[in-house]
Every structure is written in C-alpha cells, then in structure tokens.
Amino acid sequence: MTSTFDPAQQQASTLCLPPGDWPTVLDCLCERFPAISREQWCDRFSRGRVLDADGRALGVGHVYRRGMRVHYFREVAEEKPIPVHEQVLFQDEHLVVVDKPHFLPVTPSGGYVEQTLLRRLIRRLDNPHLVPLHRIDRHTAGLVLFSANPQSRSLYQRLFPERRIEKHYQAIAAALPQRQFPLVHCSRLEHGEPFFRMQEVPGDANSETHAQVLERNGQWWRYGLLPITGKTHQLRVHMAALGAPICNDPFYPTLRNDQDDYQRPLKLLAQQLRFEDPLGGGERCYQSRLTLDW
C-alpha cells in the first residue's frame, strides 16, 4: 500500500502513542481507552480498523513504539438518531456552506460518529474529501464552512488562524441595562472542570469578543457578537461573565446534567461569515437562514 492515506478523508482518529512500557500497540490502546474492551479492540484490529501512519493495517501483536502514529476508526454501538436536519446553502468545487441545526455535532466525538454533520454530508454529497474548516459547538446552530477539495484546502484553512474571516453571531440572553454597549470583553480562557468546560482565569488575555445590542424585548435582549479570537465556548463564557448567560445554556454559568431538550435549544446562532476569497478574489458573504425566536 502506498503512503497516501488521509485520516481526515477516511474519518479516522489519530493518536501519537504516549510514553509507556506496553509490549504492544494493543496494550497501549486498551489502557488509553478503558471504556473500550480488549475484545472490541481485537475485533477492530482483525477488521483492519487500526492502521499505521502509512495506512497499513496493524496486527494485535504489533510492537509498541513511543511516538508512533496510529489511526483508528471510532465506532459507537446503537448510536441514537438526532432528529434535526442540516441545510446546504452553497456548494462549488472548493467550498460547501451549511446551516447546522442545534444539537448536531460537526465531527465525530464522544458518543457521536454517524450522527454528525460531517458524516451526514459525506453521504449526502458523495464526497469523502469533505473537511470542516472550523467548528461550532454541538449546542450552537448556524453556518459551518467545509473544504470540498484537498488541492485548495490550505488556502481556506489559513483564513481562520490569520483572522481574515469575520464570524458574526447572534444570541438571546438577559438584559444588561447597567452596561454600556457596544463593548469589548477580553479575558484569559483555559480548560476547567470537567475538561470540556472553559473558565476565565487571571493572566494575559487570549480571547476577545465585541458585543452590541440588536434588539430589546423586555427582560431579554438580542445581542450581536463578533469573536475576534476563536477559543472553545468563548461567546458562552464571555456572556456569562458579563452577567447574561445565553438562554438555555447547559454548561454556563453552571453545569446541567439533563438530557438534550429539543424544545429548549441554546439561543446562539452563527449568523454570518464574511471573507475575501483567497482563490478567486472578491468578497464572499454567507447568511444563515435560521433564526432565534424569543
């Protein structure tokens, strides 16, 4: 087999084997992922679902080597359907723009593999080369930009770290009549407890959000949010820090352990993406067709 394996294309996860004294790759994976039984790992090995960096299937007796890159395919037994539907707004040779509904993950993670926006689009558009150029939270709705062509992918990927793309959000949250808008909120965000929640900590700011009020409706206001940086959960943490947690947020300011309530989605919408096309030139601007009701 040639070394043309693309784990993004094949929807594989990648692990760089950590330091340890395991005799085999199998032993390392069993300890690293205790929720998956040894029998399940052996079954994946036997079906060619655990590969080396060049895409070659590994055997159960393959010797462990620190730093070795291993690709493996995530599987979830009896994955529950998510009863929401995405909408493709635009597609050409290079890009696909999609309206993601609330509750649908962008990529496989946790208990979600097939019920993700990426896997749905690969099947729907019959394009295994699709790769998301950015992420939005599972609880957030709105625009997600996908690369459809590996040849032009890097041009569009650079838009995000180089901050050459504007991402406009809307949120519904409690009124803040005591604050002056528009305002800029900056803080240092780091992972907290549990690991998937973020928290503001002392230190130099690594996140910045611009906020304005778009509409007032009694105790609830509609906010326009422009994230200058792209930290995990940034808008959700910043709004909670301002004193107006986004309506129906299950993580901030306190963690709720209840099941998904499809009648009470997080009132946060990725409403607009605007950028200069690095390939053909000219401005591109996409607007979500979803709305946040009161």
pLDDT in tens, 93-142: 999 999 999 999 998 776 787 889 998 999 899 998 899 999 999 999 99
The yes-or-no verdict on residue 54 having pLDDT over 80 is: yes
Helix axes 25-32, 38-46, angle to 10 degrees: 130
User: What does the domain layout of the chain look like in residue ranges?
Assistant: 13-72, 87-287
Tokens of 278: 């690095």
How confident is the model at residue 77, as a pLDDT?
62
Tokens of 155: 């041009």
How confident is the model at residue 55, as a pLDDT?
84
Q: What is the value of pTM for the model shown?
A: 0.78
pLDDT in tens, 162-194: 999 999 999 999 999 999 999 999 999 999 988
Angle at 214 between CA 105 and CA 141, to 5 degrees: 10
Helix or strand holding residue 157 (H, E): helix 153-157
Whole-number Å distance between alpha carbons of 269 and 100: 9
CATH number of the domain at 87-287, please? 3.30.2350.10
- Would you say the CATH fold of 87-287 matches that of 13-72? no
Instruction: Tell me the pLDDT of the chain averaged across its residues.
Output: 91
How much of the chain is in helix, strand and coil states, percent to nearest 5? 15, 30, 55
Tell me whether strands 141-147 and 268-276 are parallel, antiparallel or unpaired.
parallel
Q: The domain 13-72 is classified under which CATH number: 3.30.230.70, 3.10.290.10, 3.40.800.20, 3.90.1010.10?
A: 3.10.290.10
Side-chain-side CA neighbours of 8 within 13 Å: the count stands at 11
